[in-house]
Amino acid sequence: MLRNLNLDDFGIYEGISETIVTTSRGWAMNAAPMGIIRRKDKLFMRIFKDSTTYNNVLSEKILVANVIWDPIIIVSATFSDLNDSEFETVNFNSRTFVSLKKAQCWVAFECTNTKLTSESLVTELVPVRTHINKCMIRAPNRGLFGIIEACIHATRYRLTNDGKYLKLIKAYGDIVEKCGGENEKEAMNLLYSYL
């Protein structure tokens, strides 16, 4: 455990931080968007069943939360497998874990006090290793936020087939079109291709 770690330094503030969680099992590496819940200095994550992250966390009891603002990585990690070339491997305390090369920073966590429910697991996260690649200033962009919201609604749409989510996705697509840059627009087109 890292004592006296200031989670703010790694972009993880009170509330829910949207990160890309990377896990591995054997040679297989996985990335998926996940929210870290922070209440004071306690961190939790809820991971739904039947996902690779769920299985990897149960088996390995470790995960890496990557802070990343790349809209194409966010969409790709939501709907498909990232290329192996997007990952890098870190060895620490005779364990191997994986992170994303393009992350601004990442924090590796041990998963403890894991509780299983019928639908998901809830696990407490204890930071064991951190890394900062680069600090980038970025003004808020509504298009980038639109990508994150559209990913959430698209996931729900694929689970339920409920048309109300399509309307929401389209509304966020309009925000991306108006406010996003080329990367956000490309990411939105990629998202549409998965519906």
**Which residues contact its own copies (rule: CB under 8 A)?**
8-19, 35-36, 38, 65, 67, 69, 104-105, 132, 135-145, 148-149, 178-184
Closer to its own copies by Cβ: residue 3 or 40: 40
Q: Which is nearer to its own copies, 58 or 168 (CB)?
A: 168
Q: How far is the CB of 194 from its own copies (least distance, A)?
A: 20
Smallest distance, its own copies to C-beta of residue 116, A: 23
DSSP string for 50-74 = TSHHHHHHHHH-EEEEEE---HHHH
Q: How far is the CB of 136 from its own copies (least distance, A)?
A: 7
Nearer to its own copies, 55 or 183 (CB): 183
Instruction: Name the residue nearer to its own copies (CB basis): 3 or 138.
Output: 138
3-state helix, strand, coil in the chain (%, to 5): 35, 35, 25
Q: C-beta of 126: minimal distance to its own copies in Å?
A: 18
Using DSSP's 3-state secondary structure scheme, residue 91 falls into strand
d(CA 174, CA 49): 32
Amino acid letter at 86?
A: E
Integer angstrom CA distances of residue 12 from 126, 127, 167: 13, 12, 31
